[in-house]
Amino acid sequence: MPLASIPSPSQGVWYLGFVPIRAYALCIVLGVIVAVWLSERRWRARGGQSGTIVDIAVPAVIFGLIGGRLYHVITDWQTYFGSRAVKEPYQALFIWEGGLGIWGAIALGGVGVWWAVRRRGISMSAVADTVAPGIAFAQAIGRWGNWFNQELYGGPTTLPWGLEIDINHGGEPGVLYHPTFLYESIWDLALGFALIFAGRRFALHHGRLFALYVAGYTLGRFWIEGLRIDPVGGVDHAVTFLGLRINQWTSIVLFLGALVYLYVTRNKDSEELVVPPTASYTGPGEPGESAAAAEGDDSETSASKEAEGSSSEGGGPKDTETAAEDADATKATPAAEDTSAESSGETSAEPSAGAASGAASGAASGADETSAAEDAKPPAATTSEDAEVGSPAPATVQASDDEPSEAARASDRPVEEPPADSREDDAPAPEAVTKEKNSR
């Protein structure tokens, strides 16, 4: 009669009404939560965006559950199919009854991670290194589901920590068995802490920390698997090859593969993307606009605001056009005053009929030029008060300057009032100058 032992739970399922709450499923879910929480913290500490690991975990868990179950059914197919099957074929879908192969879970779960990181544009190796310790802790928690199900135990032992297994689950009265679930849980827990230490101490990147996880897990799994007596690959016995179980051979292959990867990538130190490029991603799971397009939109907005500001300060389009006409009229003022002075001189020197005849000819010529100028000018220019015949606007504009021109001072002197016909000659001059400027 053993002095000490580890008892097995009397039940692994509780009911909330008609809804079953299974301890195995709770252990899996709790392990996933711990892994995601730890990995998310490690990812942010590495400079990644918050929420990245949570988004990646969704396809990773779904693919992982499918892969784990497929591996179990493939390696234990005689349990569900064939003449010696102890379960119905449809029970292969009952994940809650236990039976998830870690190798399939990691393999197909990795496919889900690859699909997610490719969409986000970040490095697969960076994510693998980040989640490696979390996976080890998740396995440590998940193994307790085997304890509730009284499965995957080892051979008989007399050790004080031997595990009690009831008859319904293959045990014998008074016999204790190796608690392989506990061995692996402790191994995985120690492995998780070792990975955190190694990652900080040696700065293992580019998938090397994940390779160290694979090597460490398979090393422990090899000797723990050698203690188990559950019939992997068969109904009443385990399938072996050269004296080793299937999972032991799998551990050997993966352990050697991890060592090769560590050696091949020992000098790899290129940059790993932990933040999605801004040209292809702006938030969790959402494509965004390119930076060039964003800059173009900003430039157009700034230009529109500047144009509106200029228009409001200048008094609107109509005031701008009026200002332009005033400027043309100002430039044309000296020429108009010179023409007026010449006409006045001729009138004073020759007050004869010849001057009157010349004035009449000039009026006719000016009328023709005025008509041509009015046809050439835009409609808005004809409404300007500064361009009207006999308007004092040129003098007013000129007077606003700091030093009036000589022509402006001459216009202020009293001169002999020319005849009405002669005043008409002065009107076309600004229009003619304006026409000449527009034609140039």
Q: Name the token pair of 257.
A: 């593969």
**DSSP, residue by residue, 215-280:** HHHHHHHHHHHTTB-S-TTSSSS--EETTEEHHHHHHHHHHHHHHHHHHHTTT-------S--TTT
State which H helix or E strand residue 149 sits in: helix 144-149
Query: What is the torsion angle, in degrees rounded to the nearest 10, for the CA atoms of residue 241, residue 242, residue 244 and residue 249?
Result: -70
Least Cα distance to 34 among 107, 109, 111, 140 occurs for: 140
Rg (the chain; Cα; Å): 48
Q: What phi and psi, each to the nearest 5 degrees, are found at residue 48?
A: -80, 170
Least Cα distance to 231 among 84, 104, 91 occurs for: 84
d(CA 23, CA 161): 22
- Cα-Cα end-to-end distance for the chain: 120
d(CA 431, CA 429): 5
Residue environment code for 74-90, b if the CB has 16+ CB neighbours within 10 A, otherwise e: ebbebbbeeeeeeeeee
How many Cβ atoms sit within 10 Å of the Cβ of residue 134?
26
d(CA 6, CA 244): 28
Binding site membership: which residues? Answer: 143
